[in-house]
Structure formats: structure tokens, C-alpha cells
């Protein structure tokens, strides 16, 4: 039987789709909408109707699947079709269930209940999410599969020029970031700090930026990667412990062999052990201030943590490491259905 992955928006987990197609022979059914930035309310509503139409059009291709993978809001329509027997598959797997607000939890809980089906699984990229989602959504923990959000494809970046000279600390990303306290810390330090965010990060729209702080907004991936590569260490100032948050940025930091200084949360503890392959702080002030001073006064600290960072990345987040996770998943559920047959 065929294994299928469907996506209405290839920008969402498109790398996973490509990975499954290339390594496990999945049939990829996708529609690239080329969405850029954030959408208006009415455009979002229009796209929801478009998702429903897309599933209707692809119903025949989806039916008869052994494993059917999907991601994002379109998954609700697929579940609904499976529930009413309009699509037949052995196991439905929702890739990367991501919920980051109380309002979204309430909406997802209602929709998941209305579209509940048998033989469904959800992959999550943080172990913390299993407890969180099980509690908030009323889904048994046995329905969740942990697979880290690593680098599913080899990344190549073109060298570009930057306006930054010399050693600096780096912090980047848009969602769930708490940049204001970080900026306040570096107002008290002589070291340079480079921040890369979005125009939607309101705390980055400052008129009184100190000379040692440089802020970029909405830059391309090449420049982001180069700024990471040339930094002394990277800081991850997360705002809330929401489970999955900042993993793609963490991948960038780790594949470039950079020590990460992160807010001490359930998710970050899955990646970093304090003083082993990174540094964790609970309160931005004064703990982060103290950490920066400790690193500056003990430069050998980064030699050890950088080396351990590379070891962690190679063992957990490379394409080779991720292959084993999906190989186990595909074999497990394919084997289960063969046994049932």
C-alpha cells in the first residue's frame, strides 16, 4: 500500500515532506501557495475554504493509504473525510502539531473532538508538548510521537556581506521572544549584541539603541546564517514555556557549532545541559548579565561547550539521526497493519 503526505502549504514542514518522499518513497501531494508574511482575517478564512476544496479534489489520491501524513489546518478536513468514510487509510499522522496560545488550544480541542478518528497519531518536536497537549486537548499520551525538529535537508548558504565587525553575541527569531530584557542587559555591558527579528517584534522598534547593539528585521536566510556563524555565542531569550518554540533557530546555532545561552525551560533542557553544551538562566537580570561576564572572564569555557554542541547536533539533529526516527515510525505502523491483516 502507498504512503502519502499531503500539504496545502509547502512552506509548512516542506522539508519533512521532501525528506519522506526522497527517503521512504512517500507520494507527495502538495500545493504551493507561496504565502509571505502574515495573513489578513478574510484571507485566512478564504484559505480554510480552499483547504476543504483541495482535499475534495485529492480524495481519490489519498484513499487507500497505509500511512497518511498531513500538517496544519488542512488536517481537520482530512480527519473529517476519514471519519465519514470518504477517505480510507490505515493510520493518519498529524506532523508537527503546534499550538502556542490559549485561544488556539480551545479551538483545536473543539475541532479535534468533532473530527476524532481511530488510528491517529501526532508527531511533536518537544517532549514537553506530550504532557501539555494531552492535558489541554484531552488526547491520550500514547497518541503522540516525539521526533526532534532537526535538519531534514542539507543546507547551503551563500556568503554575503554584513555590517557587523568583530566578536558579538547573537539572538534571533520572531515568535515567543522576550527581547526587551535582553537589550537592557546589554545596555550595561560593553560587548556587542546583534538581534535579528521581525518588524512585528515591537520591542525592537527603538529610537535609543546603544552603539553596542545592532538590530536587523526581516532579513533573508543567508544573512541570518552568516551572522550566526560569525558570532561568539548565541542567546535564546524565550518568553513562555510553550513546548515547541525556537527549534529551527536552535538548529542554526548548533550546526554552526555555537554555544547557546538559553532561558531555562522544559524545552531548552531537552537540548542543553548547563555548562556542558550550553548555559541556562532563569531570570534575564541579573543571571544573564552574570553569565556573560563569566564567559568573558573565562574564554576557555566556550571551547568545551562548542565542541559538545557539535557532538549533540551530529547525534540528534542531522538528517542521518532523523532517518532513524522515521524509519522506526514507518516500520512500526506498517508492521502493525500487516499483523492485523
Distance CA 314, CA 318 (A): 6
Give which of 254, 164, 177 is closest to 211, Cα–Cα: 164
Could you write out the DSSP letters of every residue in 185-237? HHHT-SS-EEEEE-TT-GGG--S---TTEEEEES--HHHHHHHHHT-SEEEE-
| Alpha helices, DSSP H, located in the chain | 14-24, 41-57, 59-62, 74-83, 102-114, 127-137, 179-187, 221-229, 247-255, 266-271, 289-297, 300-316, 319-340
Q: Is the pLDDT of residue 333 over 60?
A: yes
Domain ranges of the chain: 2-150+319-340, 169-316
Q: Is the pLDDT of residue 201 over 60?
A: yes
- Tell me if domain 2-150+319-340 and domain 169-316 are identical in fold: yes
Q: Which contiguous run of DSSP H or E holds residue 95?
A: none
CATH 3.40.50.2000 fits 2-150+319-340, yes or no: yes
Q: Which CATH class is domain 169-316?
A: alpha beta
Residue 109, pLDDT score: 96
For residue range 72-108, list pLDDT tens digits in order. Answer: 889 999 999 999 999 999 999 999 888 877 888 999 9
User: DSSP 3-state assignment of 28?
Assistant: strand
HSE-up (13 A, CA, CB side) for residue 117 = 25
Beta bridge partners of 5: 28, 69
For residue range 101-149, list pLDDT tens digits in order. Answer: 788 899 999 999 999 999 999 999 999 999 999 999 999 999 999 999 9
Q: Answer yes or no: are the C-beta atoms of 195 and 216 closer than 8 Å.
A: yes
Amino acid at each position: 500500500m502507498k504512503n502519502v503526505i499531503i500539504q496545502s502549504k509547502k512552506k509548512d514542514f516542506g522539508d519533512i515532506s521532501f525528506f519522506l518522499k526522497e527517503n521512504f518513497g512517500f507520494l507527495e501531494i502538495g500545493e504551493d501557495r507561496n504565502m509571505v508574511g502574515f495573513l489578513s482575517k478574510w484571507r485566512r478564512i478564504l484559505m480554510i475554504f480552499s483547504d476543504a476544496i483541495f482535499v475534495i479534489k485529492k480524495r481519490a489520491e489519498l484513499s487507500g493509504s497505509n500511512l497518511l501524513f498531513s500538517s496544519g489546518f488542512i488536517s481537520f478536513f482530512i480527519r473529517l473525510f476519514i471519519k465519514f468514510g470518504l477517505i480510507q487509510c490505515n493510520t493518519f499522522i498529524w506532523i508537527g502539531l503546534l499550538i502556542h496560545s490559549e485561544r488556539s488550544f480551545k479551538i483545536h480541542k473543539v475541532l479535534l473532538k468533532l473530527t476524532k478518528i481511530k488510528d491517529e497519531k501526532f508527531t511533536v518536536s518537544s517532549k514537553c508538548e506530550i504532557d501539555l497537549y494531552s492535558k489541554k486537548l484531552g488526547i491520550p499520551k500514547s497518541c503522540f510521537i516525539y521526533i526532534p525538529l532537526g535538519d531534514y535537508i542539507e543546507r547551503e548558504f551563500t556568503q554575503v556581506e554584513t555590517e557587523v565587525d568583530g566578536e558579538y553575541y547573537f539572538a534571533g527569531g520572531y515568535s515567543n521572544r522576550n527581547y526587551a530584557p535582553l537589550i537592557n542587559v546589554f545596555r550595561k555591558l560593553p560587548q556587542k549584541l546583534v538581534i535579528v527579528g521581525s518588524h512585528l517584534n515591537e520591542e525592537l522598534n527603538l529610537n535609543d539603541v546603544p552603539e553596542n547593539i545592532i538590530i536587523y528585521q526581516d532579513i533573508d536566510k543567508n544573512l541570518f546564517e552568516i551572522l550566526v556563524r560569525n558570532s561568539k555565542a548565541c542567546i535564546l531569550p524565550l518568553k513562555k514555556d510553550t513546548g515547541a518554540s525556537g527549534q529551527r533557530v536552535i538548529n542554526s546555532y548548533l550546526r554552526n557549532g555555537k554555544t547557546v545561552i538559553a532561558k531555562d525551560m522544559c524545552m531548552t533542557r531537552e537540548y542543553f545541559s548547563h555548562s556542558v553544551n550550553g548555559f541556562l538562566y532563569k531570570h534575564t537580570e541579573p543571571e544573564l548579565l552574570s553569565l556573560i561576564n563569566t564567559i568573558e572572564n573565562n574564554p576557555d569555557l566556550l571551547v568545551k561547550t562548542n565542541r559538545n554542541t557539535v557532538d549533540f547536533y551530529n547525534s540528534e539533529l542531522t538528517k542521518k539521526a532523523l532517518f532513524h526516527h522515521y524509519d522506526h515510525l514507518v516500520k512500526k505502523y506498517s508492521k502493525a497493519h500487516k499483523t492485523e491483516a
